[in-house]
């Protein structure tokens, strides 16, 4: 068995398989949301290859079954068991049911699913703006619903997949659902991704005594993913050309899953909590968006903002 690497040996081109090389997750149980495509699949693959039993929490269980069949054919002997669970983050009933049905400890929760930049405003059945509802509120309800299972794991890890898109907007507490502001797909996405980071900051503080760590991350600029299914690619190209949208170099899905795998499984970050990572390392703070394609905004790590978002989120999910 190889020896796990140190954080300094990981970087932008590291793939998830390299991160879990030498890591033993046998006896651990994991949930990866949005694991029917993109980096969710590769994150599930990495965790299962290290021995974890992984539940793919997905909207389309038929697609999830296809992924399980493919991974089972590709994974080495001794890999963890793969199962599929129904989870639609825009449908609160499925979130509640998933958490209620979970039995026993949960060692790893990767909140990976998301929606990005629908061109027209869309609202969930309970009236919430879709990106904030799916990317943040759905995962907030799921994670708080699974709190007892996480606490029972004695060292659980929560991984919140955010984005450099958080630089587009803080959480605008007075208008979360664009009832007053003109809808903009990118500030809406940015708000939801900032919320993903703030959730990790708040969970790290609130649940430290339960042995739970929580961190957020930017997976990278990955073209081969279902996240961009709502986007007008021509409009995105024009947005990039205008200088309004700057993107880091593209990654493969295997590279995109590396930072998630690091925070979910690597002993090199044991005990680290309430942080934001990119390229398998903790991100540096930035003071303005400008042309930055990386780093973390101070408002996304602000403990007061995190506490306020937690209270607001509890009220919104009832």
Instruction: Indicate which residues carry an active-site annotation.
Output: 189
Measured CA to CA, the distance from residue 256 to residue 275 in angstroms comes to: 18
CA 69 to chain centre: 24
Angle between helices 38-49 and 61-74 (to 10 degrees): 40
C-alpha torsion sign, points 151, 306, 200, 196: positive
Report the DSSP pairing between strands 82-86 and 281-282.
unpaired
Measured CA to CA, the distance from residue 124 to residue 146 in angstroms comes to: 22
Burial classification of residue 63, based on how many CB atoms lie within 10 Å of its CB (0-12 exposed, 13-18 middle, 19 or more buried): middle
Structure tokens at 184: 């903009």
139 and 98 in contact (C-beta within 8 Å)?
Answer: no
96-130 as b/e: b if 16+ CB within 10 A = eebbeebeebbbbbbbbbbbbbbeeebebeeebbb
Percentage helix, strand, coil, to 5, in the chain? 45, 15, 40
3 state SS of 67: helix
Distance, first Cα to last Cα, the chain:
48
């Amino acid at each position: 068995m190889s020896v796990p690497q140190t954080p300094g040996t990981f970087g932008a081109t590291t793939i998830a398989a390299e991160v879990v090389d030498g890591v033993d997750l046998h006896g651990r149980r994991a949930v990866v949301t949005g694991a029917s495509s993109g980096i969710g699949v590769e994150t599930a693959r990495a965790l299962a290859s290290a021995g974890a039993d992984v539940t793919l929490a997905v909207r389309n269980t038929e697609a999830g079954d296809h992924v399980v069949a493919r991974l089972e054919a590709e994974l080495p002997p001794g890999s963890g068991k793969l199962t599929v669970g129904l989870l639609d983050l825009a449908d609160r009933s499925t979130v509640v049911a998933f958490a209620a049905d979970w039995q026993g400890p949960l060692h790893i929760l990767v909140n990976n699913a998301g929606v990005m930049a629908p061109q027209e405003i869309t609202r969930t059945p309970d009236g919430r703006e879709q990106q904030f509802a799916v990317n943040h509120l759905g995962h907030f309800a799921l994670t708080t619903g699974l709190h007892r299972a996480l606490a029972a794991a004695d060292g659980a890890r929560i991984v919140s997949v955010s984005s450099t898109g958080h630089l587009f907007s803080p959480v605008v507490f007075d208008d979360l659902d664009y009832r007053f502001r003109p809808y903009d797909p990118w500030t809406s996405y940015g708000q939801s991704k900032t919320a993903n980071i703030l959730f990790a900051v708040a969970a790290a503080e609130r649940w430290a005594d339960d042995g739970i760590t929580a961190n957020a991350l930017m997976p990278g600029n990955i073209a081969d993913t279902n996240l961009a299914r709502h986007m007008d690619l021509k409009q995105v190209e024009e947005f990039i050309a205008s200088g309004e949208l700057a993107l880091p170099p593209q990654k493969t899905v295997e590279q995109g899953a590396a930072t998630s795998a690091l925070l979910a499984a690597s002993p090199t970050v044991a005990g680290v909590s309430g942080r934001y990572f990119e390229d398998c390392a903790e991100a540096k703070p930035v003071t303005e968006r400008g042309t930055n394609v990386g780093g973390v905004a101070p408002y996304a790590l602000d403990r007061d903002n995190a506490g306020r978002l937690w209270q607001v989120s509890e009220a919104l999910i009832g």
